[in-house]
Structures are given as C-alpha cells and as structure tokens.
Amino acid sequence: MNNRINNHPILGKREEKEKVEIIFDGNKITAEKGEMIAAALYANGIRINRYTIKYNEPRGIFCAIGQCTDCSMVVNGIPNVRTCITPVEKGMVIETQYGLKRSGKTND
C-alpha cells in the first residue's frame, strides 16, 4: 500500500527524490532523502510507531509537528525520538518502541 500523492492539482507532479534505505523492525524499507521517518513509514503503510507503557496501547502520528510525542520510536538504539520531525538517514535502524523497550528486531 503506497499512499504517496504523486500528482496534485496545486502542488503538481512529485519530483523523484534520491532513494534512501532504512531498516524498520528488521525489514528493509525504501524512503526518500530528506523525508521524515514517520512520513516514510506511513508511506509504506506503517502508522503504529509505539505501544504505551501502562496499557500497551498503539500510538501514531497525532500532531505531525513534534509537539505531542506520540510518534516516538527507538532510532539507532536511542528511545523517545520524535520521528515526525526527524529526517531519515541512510542505514538508519528504526524500531517500534514497546513502553521503554526496543522491539529488539534489528537484524539488518
């Protein structure tokens, strides 16, 4: 499921961007240079970024401007990274955040 908007009546055709490879919970995913992590995952049909500590509830993008912190994930081993405002980088290892723990699936 790829929900990128390739042509738009106002914004016009989306120019091709350089592809960037990232690892999400152990699987290879293609993102685009300069794109935000949460956006890249959403484009690949992934919109659950973390599960909460107390009630293990799924959470994802809510404000999209780095204020609500519900899009936090473990990025290169560091937890609580707000992925809606953090650009992707080549070879980034991104894991769903389970409470405070990493998903542990990082074998790239």
24 binds another protein (CB under 8 A): no
Cα–Cα distance list, 63 to 12, 30, 47, 70, 105 (Å)? 25, 24, 13, 8, 27
Instruction: Return d(Cα 88, Cα 83) in angstroms, integer.
Output: 9
Mask for 71-100, x = binds another protein (CB under 8 A): -x-----xxx----x-x------------x
Lookup: tokens for 82: 């707000």
16 binds another protein (CB under 8 A): no
Give the binding site for another protein (CB under 8 A).
3-5, 8-11, 14, 35-36, 39, 42-43, 47-49, 51-55, 57-70, 72, 78-80, 85, 87, 100
